[in-house]
Amino acid sequence: MNHFSGDALSWELKSGVIELALHRPPCNEIGSVALGELEKFVGSLDDLEHQASVLIIHSQLQCGFSAGADLRELYERSQAMEKSAAIRGVRDFLERIHHVLNRIDESPLTTIAAVHGVVFGGGFELALACDLMIADKMVRFCFPELRLGLIPGFGGIPRLKRDLGNAVVRDLLLTGRSFNATKAQQIGLVSQVVAEGESLRAARATSVQLAKFDRHTAATAKKFIKPVPHDELRQEIDLFCELFTRPAVEAGLKKFVESTDAQPYLP
């Protein structure tokens, strides 16, 4: 399927570049709808990869790339069922999103996350599955999961550990603070910082360069330098599900969902 238009995302293959656009208000929260469409996308990747050299993931919403997992849906669904069923549901969701992100991570295409605005939690984890991150100067990254009594669950810690120094990972995770493009470039997270509103244009310009290279060679280089940390990713799912059983999580989710605070992402 060379193009698709859904409720949460759309994609189109044009001139050897796949552009996957996120566009589900309020800010591309990743819940069951987005997950279903991401699964549809990775289901089409085998075919798309024969026709493309680059994948660009970006957002069409002004608020940013993605605010992360759909916490409202998670809270409401877990409230509507027995605890054991809720935990099974969470594990199933995590298995599915890990399958999607692992597939994007190990795609032979060169993948670019063109990010702006909010890149939080699960949105940050989606960007981390890509090979290159190009950010506009108004971007804001954050792993706020500890405020909910959780750790990132979409592969964030293993992928961050793969890409950055452990001290930086500890700072970002254990403080839960958000940080800007300058900091992201200093720590080696983003490869290019561009003017406000220019990340997609810069990603397209980069894709022209990437398309000049032999695909097999580029895919071989990628496979050599970017192994998927499968063992740690499995551990992450187990740890997340273990933490999800604790009362602090329900309290944290409730507080977030019911908050009218201008800074609800703060603990």
Partner 1 sequence: METAEKTLDEILTLAANHFKVPREKLSPDADFFKALGIDSLQTLDLLTRLENHFHVELPDYELQGVNDFRTLAAKIQARL
Kindly state whether residue 40 participates in binding partner 1, applying the rule CB under 8 A.
no
Cα separation, 180 vs 203, in Å, equals 19
Amino acid (1-letter code) at residue 84:
S
The dihedral over CA atoms of 47, 39, 59, 90, expressed in degrees to the nearest 10, equals -160
Kindly state whether residue 158 participates in binding partner 1, applying the rule CB under 8 A.
no
| Region 128-147 residues binding partner 1, contact defined as CB under 8 A | 137-140
SS3 54: strand
Kindly state whether residue 177 participates in binding partner 1, applying the rule CB under 8 A.
yes
Cα separation, 52 vs 38, in Å, equals 18
Cα separation, 73 vs 80, in Å, equals 11
Q: Under a CB-based contact definition with an 8 Å cutoff, are residues 130 and 57 in contact? A: yes
Catalytic residue among 19, 29, 37, 145: 145
Q: Which is nearer to partner 1, 93 or 120 (CB)?
A: 120
Q: Is 125 a catalytic residue?
A: yes
Amino acid (1-letter code) at residue 83:
K
Q: Is 12 a catalytic residue?
A: no
Kindly state whether residue 174 participates in binding partner 1, applying the rule CB under 8 A.
no
Considering the complex, what minimum distance in angstroms separates the CB of residue 183 from partner 1? 6
Kindly state whether residue 263 participates in binding partner 1, applying the rule CB under 8 A.
yes
Considering the complex, what minimum distance in angstroms separates the CB of residue 267 from partner 1? 8
Considering the complex, what minimum distance in angstroms separates the CB of residue 119 from partner 1? 11
Cα separation, 77 vs 212, in Å, equals 47
How many residues of this chain bind partner 1 (CB under 8 A)? 24
Residues that bind partner 1 (CB under 8 A): 27, 63-64, 117-118, 137-140, 175-180, 182-183, 261-267
